[in-house]
Structure 1
Amino acid sequence: MIKVSVLYPNNPGVRFDLHYYCTQHMDIVRKCLGDALKAIAVDQGLASADPGSQAPFVAMGHLYFDSIESFQKSFAPHAERIMGDLSNFTDSQPLIQISEVKLAP
């Protein structure tokens, strides 16, 4: 199983509408990616390791797939629609990482 993590840096003054992200944006993602998408998780950044410090990421979205090929095949036809929705909830420039899941809850 692989995980596609979309990390939104928590830069000063960043705009991020977590409610929109969790409801509207992830609904678009679910509909576009269909059965290839096995699970979704969303994290809201709270803090860094240092007490009282700001979280490095305002939010993170995690999408789970059976393989990189499954992700690419399902995402490619809908990339424009999914990526085009970003301006509706953030002005942060996301970082994307694809990982192989070795241990999960």
Structure 2
Amino acid sequence: MLEGPGPREPSESERREVLRTHMPRGRITSLPVRRTDRLVLLDQVARAFEPGVRYTEEEVNAVLRRFTADLVVLRRSLTDEGFMEHDRTRYWRCGGTVDL
């Protein structure tokens, strides 16, 4: 069975609105329920990690503290949605937007 097209990419104004609603002043006030909005927010957080760099859990937590106190939910969301991967000792960014 063929699947239909995936969700469309949000416009820049939609991205700004999601971030303004859920991340005022750079801190997450709520994780969006709508997946497309949640992906916008997680993409913004993922930009805080350098592609190709391996991070310890402590280093990941230090970065995530800039965004929220709920480190476990945010770290899990980043891995579940494919923005980060991990093995027994390290995390690394594997998805998201890269600024050139």
TM-score, normalised via structure 2 length: 0.30
Bigger share in strand = 1
Higher relative contact order, structure no. (Cα contacts within 8 Å, ≥ 6 residues apart):
1
Bigger share in helix = 2
